[in-house]
């Protein structure tokens, strides 16, 4: 079902009003009142459209101080609408320079929000409300963002489709020509999107696919971009566009797009001028160049730096930036994992200060587990930003429950050792270790026109988690999950007659949070344990296909290239005897990854080709361990089904049934992963499946024919 924001759910609003005081009561633990309130109602539909921002009737609050601008008035309105603190309280907004407040950060206590900027006040309001709703302490807090730019990347095409999107069509583009008029429904939808982003600190949106069409810079496209920017601006969100490097030739009809050609340079200058005339606060360009068949400066014998700098020079007078992606690889390279490092490290220090190199968390491509990209910390004189994938391209689309904060936390907290111990990816990218003119982080969005925006309720948690980690790259996954659950499944949407704060905590929050925290490792276990990667059956990137190798297809697009299974063992040898990708990591990681004994077992087959009989730390042979991991992955998802069924009394019917249904399919597909991979690899290991492991229920030949395409 598709629903745009203007189709509001009146029933929900009315029912929310009935429970207006529940949240406050909940936080002050007035159990008796809670029980009687809840006991009178039991039907609340919830299609998830309100995300983590459900309406709650507020207590009385007066806002004083600076309220001069529309953004401050918006901040005051939000505070009044959501206030759950002391009834009759007064809150003071102050815009005042303070050395301890950075960027759009803020200082806050229960009756004052101070910031250097209006946007900081708005963020302070959302933070205060979040704290009230999740019963977190509100002492004297200073909160500064880890990154200056916190950006969603939408892989949306102008025809309205979304690359790797699993939640319906684009919220920005509709097809049929982007010149189609902007409707009131569009505007309301974009406002709602902007508000959700601002509530978690996101301040930028790239509106179109990195596989950009040159038409993205056409006047029709720019006009719609301008209309989107207008709705996002009040919430402090700048718009950016992905551009195609051949735009001068394709759109401008020039003979070339060579970045050193004066005509090309001028074309970009006048195009940028046109953009800023329409959108004075335009953020800049995102560029995928010389990657997966897209054009780029190398087509003209130039470097990434030549290409990026030419664009940066055009954007500089207006304060715009270039986010230049390091996701590059070609079929010629022997180890795809090494290519980005090889291409970008020699260019360190050669980029303009308004260029940021955007680097995926791992060296291959958003796999369920990868080591961090060795570019983090290796680029020392160039701004660099992490790119995470919120949409679950390789982690079950919107059909599987996978909470991604643990994956991102693992990456951010990985120690690169580049500047001594403790040089985490977080510190290598947020300006703590290297002086970067700009700091930034990007997440590939999972948002579409579906009523719940993301395809299922739990997929929303990944949007939320990205924003929260972009604001504070030291947050723990558990805190994020708990916060999100408390705001998303607030008890006023529960249907039980017997809910109390204590049993909500024990019977709902704790087990569901546990399930979320386990879900990423679970996905690794039933799909690609022990460092296996990229073994999907084709381009849909959903189901297993370790056997998938159609004749004529580029080797690096086939799973056997990655798993290298043979009668001796399995895994990609990236040691000095193999591709030597280990050499791209700083000591002591280089030595640690090089040695099979010291290599972390969760990355073993990423770095080593290991004999089937190799003894693992558990005492199991590698083969037995692999089977055991697949088995535990499936068992965990079965556990999620039980956990979810147990929390039925605490969840509204719609979302309960939706997730119950999803988990059924999730389990079935996890089983297919397990059976497909175990039976396929067994042909090489020639070893029996350990008896403790559940027997396969599918036949390999059936699975090999089954495409498991996204339905
Ligand atoms: C992956 C994904 C593509 C995407 C690419 C990118 O390869 O499958 O759809 O275009 O990443 O990040 O550019």
Q: What is the DSSP string of 262-329?
A: HHHHHHHHHHHHHHHHH-TT--EEEE--SSTT---GGGGT--HHHHHHHHHHHHGGGT-EEEEE----
From CA 24, how far away is CA 471, in angstroms rounded?
27
The pLDDT value given to residue 508: 95
Atom of ligand 1 nearest to the CA of 393: 8
Q: Give the Cα separation of 128 and 135 in Å (integer).
A: 10
Query: Which residue has the CA at smallest separation from atom 2 of ligand 1?
Result: 164
Mean pLDDT of 188-216: 98
So which residues are the catalytic ones? 292, 365, 393
The whole-number pLDDT of residue 618 equals: 98
Nearest-5° angle of CA 571, CA 574, CA 580? 165
Q: How far is the CA of 327 from the centre of ligand 1 (A)?
A: 9
Query: Alpha-carbon distance 312 to 296, whole Å?
Result: 15
Q: What is the DSSP letter of 229?
A: H
Share of the chain above pLDDT 90, in %: 86
Distance 583 CA to ligand 1 centre (A): 26
386/379 Cα distance (integer angstroms): 12
Q: How far is the centre of ligand 1, averaged over its atoms, from the C-alpha of 292 (Å)?
A: 8
Tokens 């709902």 found at? 508
What pairing do the DSSP bridges indicate for beta strands 610-611 and 569-570?
Answer: antiparallel
What pTM was estimated for this model as a whole? 0.93
Which protein residue has the closest C-alpha to ligand 1 atom 1? 365
Number of Cβ within 10 Å of residue 171's Cβ equals: 26
Among the listed residues 129, 124, 138, 2, the one whose alpha carbon sits nearest the alpha carbon of residue 55: 129
Among the residue ranges 8-22, 378-392, 403-417, 546-560, the one predicted with the least confidence is 8-22
pLDDT at 208 over 50: yes
Residue 678 CA from chain centroid, whole number: 30
Mutate to test the pocket of ligand 1, among 156, 161, 164, 286 (most ligand atoms within 8 A of CB): 164
pLDDT of residue 12: 31
Spatial CB neighbours of 61, under 8 Å, sequence gap ≥ 6: 79, 80, 83, 85, 88, 89, 90, 91
CA count, 13 A, side-chain hemisphere, 710: 21
Question: Given this model, what pLDDT does residue 5 score?
Answer: 33
Mean pLDDT, the chain, rounded, equals: 91
Question: Residue 28 has what pLDDT?
Answer: 34
Is the CB of residue 674 less than 8 Å from the CB of residue 697?
A: no
Q: Which of 153, 292, 539 to mutate to test the pocket of ligand 1 (most atoms within 8 A of CB)?
A: 292
Please tell me the distance between residue 336's alpha carbon and the centre of ligand 1 in angstroms: 14
Of ligand 1's atoms, which has the minimum distance to the CA of residue 209? 10
Peptide bond preceding 558: is omega within 30 degrees of 0, i.e. cis?
A: no
Averaged pLDDT for residues 284-305: 97
**Ligand 1 neighbours by CB, cut-off 6 Å:** 163-164, 210-211, 288, 327, 365, 393
DSSP codes joined into one string, 575-624: STTTT-GGGGSPTTHHHHHHSTTTS-GGGHHHH--EETTPBPTTS-BHHH
At residue 497, the pLDDT reads 58
Over range 543-558, report the average pLDDT.
92
CA of 146 to the centre of ligand 1 (A): 26
The per-residue pLDDT for 484 is 98
Least trusted range by pLDDT, from 11-25, 76-90, 634-648: 11-25
Atom 11 of ligand 1, residue of closest alpha carbon? 365
CA of 308 to the centre of ligand 1 (A): 20
Predicted confidence at residue 25, as pLDDT, reads 35
Ligand 1, atom nearest to 164 Cα? 9
Q: Is 194 helix (H, G, I), strand (E, B) or coil?
A: helix
Which of ligand 1's atoms lies nearest the C-alpha of 288?
13
């Amino acid at each position: 079902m598709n629903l745009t924001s203007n189709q509001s759910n009146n029933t929900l609003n009315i029912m929310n009003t009935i429970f207006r005081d529940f949240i406050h009561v909940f936080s002050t633990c007035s159990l008796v009142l809670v029980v009687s309130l809840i006991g009178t109602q039991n039907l609340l539909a919830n299609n998830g459209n309100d995300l983590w921002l459900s309406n709650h009737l507020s207590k009385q609050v007066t806002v004083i101080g600076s309220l001069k601008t529309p953004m401050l008035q918006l901040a005051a309105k939000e505070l009044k609408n959501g206030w759950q603190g002391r009834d009759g309280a007064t809150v003071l907004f102050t815009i005042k320079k303070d050395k301890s407040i950075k960027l759009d950060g803020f200082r806050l206590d229960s009756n004052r929000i101070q910031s250097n900027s209006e946007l900081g006040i708005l963020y302070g309001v959302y933070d205060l409300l979040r704290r009230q709703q999740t019963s977190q302490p509100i002492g004297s807090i200073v909160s500064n963002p880890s990154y200056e730019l916190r950006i969603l990347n939408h892989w949306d095409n102008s025809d309205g489709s979304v690359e790797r999107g699993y939640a319906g069509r684009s919220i920005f583009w509709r097809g049929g020509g982007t010149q189609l008029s902007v409707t009131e429904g569009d505007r309301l939808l974009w406002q709602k999107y902007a508000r959700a982003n601002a509530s978690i600190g996101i301040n930028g949106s790239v509106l179109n696919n990195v596989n950009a069409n040159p038409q993205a810079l056409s006047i029709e496209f720019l006009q719609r971009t301008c209309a989107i920017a207008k709705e996002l601006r009040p919430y402090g969100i700048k718009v950016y566009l992905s551009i195609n490097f051949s735009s001068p030739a394709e759109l401008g009809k020039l003979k070339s797009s060579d970045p050193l050609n004066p005509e090309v340079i001028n074309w970009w200058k006048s195009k940028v001028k046109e953009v800023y005339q329409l959108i004075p606060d335009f953020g800049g360009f995102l560029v995928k160049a010389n990657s997966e068949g897209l054009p780029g400066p190398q087509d003209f014998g130039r470097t990434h730096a030549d290409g990026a700098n030419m664009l940066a020079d055009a954007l500089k007078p207006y304060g715009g930036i270039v986010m230049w992606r390091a996701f590059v690889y070609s079929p010629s390279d022997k180890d795809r994992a090494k290519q980005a490092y090889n291409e970008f490290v020699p260019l360190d220090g050669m980029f303009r200060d308004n260029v940021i190199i955007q680097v995926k968390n791992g060296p291959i491509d958003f796999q369920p587990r990868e080591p961090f990209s060795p570019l983090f910390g290796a680029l020392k004189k160039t701004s660099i930003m992490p790119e995470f994938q919120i949409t679950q391209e390789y982690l079950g689309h919107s059909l599987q429950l996978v909470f991604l904060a643990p994956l991102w936390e693992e990456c951010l907290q990985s120690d690169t050792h580049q500047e001594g111990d403790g040089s985490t990816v977080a510190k290598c990218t947020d300006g703590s270790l290297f002086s970067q003119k700009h700091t930034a982080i990007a997440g590939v969005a999972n948002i579409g026109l579906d009523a719940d925006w993301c395809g299922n309720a739990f997929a929303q948690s990944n949007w939320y988690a990205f924003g929260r980690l972009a604001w504070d790259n030291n947050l723990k996954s558990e805190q994020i999950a708990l916060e999100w659950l408390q705001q998303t499944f607030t008890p006023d949407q529960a249907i039980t007659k017997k809910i109390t704060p204590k049993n909500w905590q024990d019977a709902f929050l704790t087990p569901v949070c546990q399930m979320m925290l386990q879900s990423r490792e679970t996905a690794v276990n039933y799909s690609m344990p022990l460092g296996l990667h990229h073994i999907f059956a084709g381009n849909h990137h959903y189901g297993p296909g370790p056997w998938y190798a159609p004749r004529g297809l580029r080797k690096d697009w086939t799973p056997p290239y990655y798993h290298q299974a043979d009668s001796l063992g399995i895994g990609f040898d990236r040691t000095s005897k193999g591709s030597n990708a280990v050499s791209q990591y700083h000591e002591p990681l280089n030595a640690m990854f090089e040695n099979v004994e010291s290599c972390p077992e969760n990355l073993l087959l990423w770095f080593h080709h290991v004999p089937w009989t190799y003894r693992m730390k558990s005492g199991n042979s590698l083969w037995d361990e692999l089977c055991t991991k697949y088995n535990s992955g499936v068992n965990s998802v079965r556990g999620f089904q039980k956990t979810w069924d147990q929390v039925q009394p605490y969840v509204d019917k719609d979302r309960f049934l939706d997730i119950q249904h999803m988990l059924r399919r999730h389990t079935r597909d996890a089983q297919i992963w397990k059976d497909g991979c175990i039976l396929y690899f067994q042909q090489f290991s020639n070893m029996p499946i350990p008896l403790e492991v559940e027997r396969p229920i599918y036949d390999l030949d059936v699975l090999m024919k089954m495409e498991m395409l996204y339905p």
